[in-house]
Structure 1
Amino acid sequence: MTAITIREVPDSILETLKVKAAQGGKSLQAYLLDLVTREAATPTLAEMMARLDRETRAEVSTSDVLSAIDEGRERR
């Protein structure tokens, strides 16, 4: 595995991260590794848009939609 170093972290940020790690019962290293792992697993907005585009394609014409509306009205 590779080690990552983050330089120039403000003291207030470091203290906040230490507190959050302790509240979660984790070391700072384990907490940050979980945080980075979750971020890496989260799809970007562009990836989500591409997925939505792939999965929500519908081959329905305007006339199909209008016909369905007419049929629904006739059933009333």
Structure 2
Amino acid sequence: MPKVIHIRDVPDDVHYALTEAAKEEGLSLTRYMQRELDGLASRRRIVQENAGTIRRTQAAVDSKVERNTILSVLHEGRGD
């Protein structure tokens, strides 16, 4: 079931910028924010997955492989 989020004390300039961005994309502010929040949640999941991959890789090679090396290989595998 969908949840409701209320955000208080949003500065005027931030509200204006978000409203304008939504208008430019032909979306309501609510729909725009839903999309942006979904993007934030997706990025968080990716960060968690990457952290797990780093831990598993380091454990599998029984060494401290550099985080950037592992992330580079992940990005190459994804075609990024």
TM-score, normalising length: structure 2: 0.60
Q: Which runs of 5+ in 1 are unaligned?
A: 60-76
**Following superposition of structure 1 onto structure 2, how do residues 33-52 of structure 1 map, counting pairs within 5 Å?**
33-43=34-44, 47=48, 48-52=50-54
Paired position in structure 2 for 1:8: 9
4+ residue stretches of structure 1 with deviation over 4 A? 55-59
Structure 2 CA distance for aligned equivalents of residues 39 and 5 of structure 1: 17
User: When you count helix as a share of all residues, which structure comes out higher?
Assistant: 2
Rg larger in structure: 1
TM-score, normalising length: structure 1: 0.63
Q: How many residues align?
A: 59
Paired position in structure 1 for 2:56: 54
Q: Which runs of 5+ in 2 are unaligned?
A: 63-80
Post-superposition offset of 1:53 = 3.6
